[in-house]
Amino acid sequence: MSNPWTNPDRLPSDAAQSLAQFINARADIPDQSAAHAALVEALSPRPGERLLDFGCGTGVIARRLAPLVGSTGAVVGVDISAAMLEFARACGGPAQLSYEQNDGAAIPFPDGSFDGAAMARALLHVAHPHEILVELRRVLRPGGRLAILECDWGTVAVDHSDRALTRRILDWRTDTVDGNNWMGRQLVARCLAAGWRVGDIRVLTTIGRDETTTHFGSLRRSGELALQNGIIDQSEHDRWVGELDSRLSTGLFFASINEFILVAGKEEDADFRR
Ligand SMILES: C[S@@+](CC[C@H](N)C(=O)[O-])C[C@H]1O[C@@H](n2cnc3c(N)ncnc32)[C@H](O)[C@@H]1O
């Protein structure tokens, strides 16, 4: 299946706007806001630093970073999509926050020009993750650090009486829909392959007892997409979604998912392990 996040500008402009509104609003969901705060804490920005937010989308992480580097620092949000960046710029921010359109193949900054970089839920969508990890390493100074937030759909646990049907839908969704949904578990190997030193890794588990948590609105969509793509038939769809709805209305719904925050350093030094 094609992944709209690989380049939102390829979509009709109203669809790209919808994606931008979706991720911008998502940042206010409590579990996502907590994940973003944890990513910023993992990067531990200091006044005067120059930081990059790669795959910045509407700038939700960049806007958190900018006040922390202060007026003597700089935060640059980089994204492939003009539509995302237009939305980000319209959200405003302090003078030290700016945006650049770029696809990561050659980030338009000299070697060693940043102290650190953040990347939130972007690597799973990019066409060339290895090249981007190499490029990010190039633009960081020696001792610079990279903090990555990625979820992993293979860690979704959802309670349902039909285990085989649940596995069929979730495995298909994980393997097929919207990017590389195993990116969370692949971060260590991918960072090592790109020459990074891997430091701290944190796992954040979101437990959903209703559909308000970030990831579980899309369980119903997983069922719909599995039906549209011939993975399940109509009666299987109705049975699967029907039980989820019934559990939601009776308080028996339970789902969880893991997200990972990994901190990597350009050199082996104590600095990036904080
Ligand atoms: C799911 S959004 C995440 C945005 C933001 N980091 C957040 O957490 O809200 C993924 C973003 O990656 C961007 N993206 C995809 N491929 C890219 C590439 N090759 N270079 C730069 N950005 C890319 C998309 O345009 C999109 O804005």
Smallest CA separation from ligand 1 atom 13, residue: 55
For ligand 1, whether the C-beta of 180 sits within 6 Å is no
For ligand 1, whether the C-beta of 3 sits within 6 Å is no
Mutate to test the pocket of ligand 1, among 11, 109, 125 (most ligand atoms within 8 A of CB): 125
Topology (CATH level 3) of domain 4-153+180-206+259-273: Rossmann fold (3.40.50)
**The model scores a pTM over 0.85:** yes
Q: Is the pLDDT of residue 141 over 70?
A: yes
| Exposed e or buried b per residue across 203-235, where buried means at least 16 C-beta atoms within 10 angstroms of its C-beta | ebebebeebebbbbebbeebbebbbeeebbeee
Q: Convert the pLDDT of each residue in 46-65 to its tens digit.
A: 999 999 999 999 999 999 99
Domain boundaries, the chain: 4-153+180-206+259-273
Q: Convert the pLDDT of each residue in 81-105 to its tens digit.
A: 999 999 999 999 999 999 999 999 9
For the chain, the DSSP string reads ---GGG-GGGS-HHHHHHHHHHHHHHTTSHHHHHHHHHHHHHH---TT-EEEEET-TTTHHHHHHHHHH-TTSEEEEEES-HHHHHHHHHT---TTEEEEE--SSS-SS-TT-EEEEEEES-TTT-S-HHHHHHHHHHHEEEEEEEEEEEEEEEEEEE--S-HHHHHHHHHHHHHHSSS-TTHHHHHHHHHHHTTPEEEEEEEEEEEESSTTSTTTHHHHHHHHHHHHTTSS-HHHHHHHHHHHHHHHHHT---EEEEEEEEEEESSSSGGGG-
What is the rounded average pLDDT for all residues in the chain?
A: 94
CA dist 113 and 134 (Å) reads 14
| Exposed e or buried b per residue across 187-202, where buried means at least 16 C-beta atoms within 10 angstroms of its C-beta | beebbeebebbbbeeb
Q: Is the pLDDT of residue 271 over 60?
A: no
> Would you place residue 246 in the very low, low, confident or very high pLDDT band (cuts 50, 70, 90)?
very high
CA dist 89 and 87 (Å) reads 6
Mutate to test the pocket of ligand 1, among 84, 123, 128 (most ligand atoms within 8 A of CB): 84
> Would you place residue 204 in the very low, low, confident or very high pLDDT band (cuts 50, 70, 90)?
very high
For ligand 1, whether the C-beta of 8 sits within 6 Å is yes
Residues present in the chain in total: 274
> Would you place residue 270 in the very low, low, confident or very high pLDDT band (cuts 50, 70, 90)?
very low
Q: Is the pLDDT of residue 149 over 60?
A: yes
